[in-house]
Amino acid sequence: MSSSPTLSTIRLIEFEGLGPGPLAGRMLADLGAQVTLIARPGQGAVSAQLGGDEAHNPLRRGKQVVVLDLKQPADRDRAIELVMGADALIEGQRPGVMERLGLGPEVFAQRHPRLVYGRMTGWGQTGPLARVAGHDLNYVALTGLLSLSARPGQLPMVPPTVLGDGAGALGLAFGIVCALLEARHTGRGRVVDAAIVDIVQSLGGIAHWIHANGQLGNGPGAPPSPFHDSPFYDVYACACGGQVTVAALEPPFYALLLDKLGLTDVDPARQYETADWPALKARFTALFASRSRDEWCALLEGTDVCFAPVLGMVEAAAHPHNAARRRLQGT
């Protein structure tokens, strides 16, 4: 069995952009792909927006950086030369920008038919919104999934950008790898139209399925939902000001949670009796507020009650589980 990185034979050109495009490139680089980043002169787009510097830009990790001004004919020719020697390409411009630069898919269709041309956008290459600006929050809103973060009578919660941008990066990376596999067998590449709105919608398929079965939703007349109204799937405040989460959806986990909390008078068989939920949630709220987050961690973490504390960014990196997996260090 080979010990070399999974994608060590893949050469990829990334045209620097914002958000999920660079993240997809880094994902592929982390798997061994030889990624050459074509950067604009001056500070990079991501660092300029976020106020960082290129030396500490995690989205450039594992990439060779080539600075080119694509508005200059000589630099544009150099970019074409780099693409001609690659297996795949990533670009994250608005539809039409790469074509106007003379770097669109049609330029390579005959000259480099094996090329996989990955396009990362929010709305996609086609459709009424294709050419308008947008960001993570907008794309998630249009899928219907943002509405599910709202408590009854309240506005939806703004999610972290990973919901849209992270999903978009993952979808683009997956699409590129799939297209590379096809090109290896057929000799023909393809354009991968990766739209955040499409990928989030796909990843949210289970939510739409649950909604169709009447267990998820918060519009007028919506029935009580275990994901919004139940006592066993929620965030609770603790005596110290911290918070914890419980998500004991399955009966065995719920029964164990009741036992750990000392709620011996509550019948676990009535878990989904929605009429019981308001009073029981009030009891859960008062109970969790009676102890510190550390005390609840000592009692519940590492058991099958489906529990986790709500951690800050620094705390998350230091948590024993994350530290053991080395996933939050230097990301």
Q: Which among 180, 194, 153 has a CA at the least distance from the CA of 24?
A: 194
Please give the Cα distance from 251 to 271 (Å, whole number): 7
Both tokens assigned to 194? 């990766």
**pLDDT recorded at residue 217:** 67
Please give the Cα distance from 43 to 64 (Å, whole number): 16
Q: Which among 90, 89, 159, 147 has a CA at the least distance from the CA of 120?
A: 90
Which pairing describes strands 63-67 and 34-39: parallel, antiparallel, or unpaired? parallel
**pLDDT recorded at residue 227:** 82
List, by residue number, the catalytic residues. Answer: 135, 165
Per-residue pLDDT of the chain (331 residues; tens, 9 = 90+): 455 678 999 999 999 998 899 999 999 999 999 999 999 997 655 555 555 666 678 899 999 999 999 999 999 999 999 999 999 999 999 999 999 999 999 999 999 999 999 999 999 999 999 999 898 888 988 988 888 888 777 888 888 778 899 999 999 999 999 999 999 999 999 999 999 999 998 888 777 777 777 766 666 667 777 888 899 999 999 999 999 999 999 999 999 999 999 999 999 999 999 999 999 999 999 999 999 999 999 999 999 999 999 999 889 889 999 889 876 655 5
Sheet of 88-91, strands arranged across:
63-67, 34-39, 11-15, 88-91, 116-121, 191-195
